[in-house]
Homo-oligomer: A and B are copies of this chain.
């Protein structure tokens, strides 16, 4: 089995540790996060890994998920780690699980974001945001059923996966991963319109702005726009998790939401 190891450059030492451990058991391809293609020509043959291990934080997992067709496993070397299944201290378990392919396949979907001259895919979110020096802008969100308007600093369009990321920080709900919906959450809207809007995943929406704003997809500024079209993307991405994984435990551990409060007041 060929396994790719993809790493954020500043986690090179951690990545080497993963590489060394996996190399004892598998063919390993080693890619840094600036790598364009996660495949290699070996002996005249284009070799794609069966799975890619991402060493870094959630941002690293997001990047690798968009580069490959194969599943991805996150080894946590950054913050939070919603996408990580294993710690650096759990490499023995990772090797065993790889040998027996003993994983939960956690499938997530993306939003397809179209602008005039390009298409982007958002695993977490697509954010329209004004510059700091820019005046507050007007957003119009149009869909089958009608339209909503926001006079705000920005709008976050997020998947269920992204509902525990930036949208949550702005007051949005936690949307379980298997809900067929996405949400819009305004940033600093006027007239108390702070609530998120939950929209069926079958809907195609168009957002227009009365001024040019930044388009930020999964944390990367990708352009300046006045109009975007957003809908669910048909491509599915797959994270491999240890069999012990469940979403609710992850949410409780990472952000403390829905955690049991013990009688003595501690958590």
Interface, chain A (partner B; CB < 8 A): 138, 140-141, 143, 145-151, 160, 163, 168, 171-176, 178-181, 183, 190-193, 195-200, 203, 246-249, 251-252, 256-261, 267
Contact = CB atoms under 8 A, between A and B. Distances in A.
Given A147-B248, A249-B146, A199 B173 contact: no
Choose among A143, A171, A174, A246 the residue with the greatest number of B CB atoms under 10 Å from its CB.
Answer: A174
Contact of A173 (B147, B173, B200, B252): B173
Contact of A176 (B147, B199, B252): B199
B195 A179 contact: no
The 9 closest A-B pairs by CB, nearest first: A148-B258, A146-B248, A173-B196, A149-B260, A175-B198, A151-B261, A146-B246, A179-B181, A179-B200
B172 A200 contact: no
Nearest to A252: B148
A251 B249 CA distance: 35
Contacts of A180: 179-181, 200
30 contacts: A138-B261, A145-B246, A146-B249, A147-B248, A148-B248, A149-B258, A149-B260, A149-B261, A150-B258, A160-B198, A168-B195, A171-B171, A173-B173, A173-B183, A174-B196, A174-B197, A174-B198, A175-B198, A176-B197, A176-B199, A176-B200, A179-B179, A179-B198, A179-B199, A180-B180, A181-B198, A191-B267, A193-B256, A193-B257, A197-B258
A145 B247 contact: yes
Given A140-B260, A146-B247, A173-B183, 17 more contacts: A138-B260, A138-B261, A143-B248, A147-B258, A148-B257, A149-B260, A168-B195, A171-B171, A171-B195, A172-B195, A174-B198, A175-B181, A176-B197, A179-B199, A180-B200, A191-B256, A193-B256
A229 to B, nearest CB: 18
Given A181-B181, A198-B198, A145 B258 contact: no
Contacts of A195: 168, 171-174, 257
A173 B160 CA distance: 14
Nearest to A160: B198
A251 B147 CA distance: 10
A149 B267 CA distance: 12
Contacts of A246: 145-146
A259 to B, nearest CB: 6
Contacts of A149: 258-261
A230 to B, nearest CB: 15
Nearest to A176: B199
